[in-house]
Amino acid sequence: MNRQKKIKQLLKAHAKKASAKLAPKNKPKYICKADRLKLAAEPDHDAIISSDS
């Protein structure tokens, strides 16, 4: 019984991993804090330049 349970468990785990690979990735890519601050500073800089023109 124990051997059958282990085999079943392994097959279930492999199936789960395979279906996870095929699932769509909805999670956005992680952006580090330094890059977020850099991105936040850029639009402010662009807005100042465009308003001066």
The reported pLDDT for the residue numbered 51 is 55
Distances (CA, A) of 51 to 5, 42, 45: 69, 14, 10
Tell me the per-residue pLDDT of 21-43, one tens digit each, with 9 for 90 and over.
988 888 888 999 999 999 888 87
**What single string gives the DSSP state of each residue in 2-30?**
HHHHHHHHHHHHHHHHHHHHHS---SPPP
* Global pTM value: 0.45
pLDDT reported for residue 47: 53
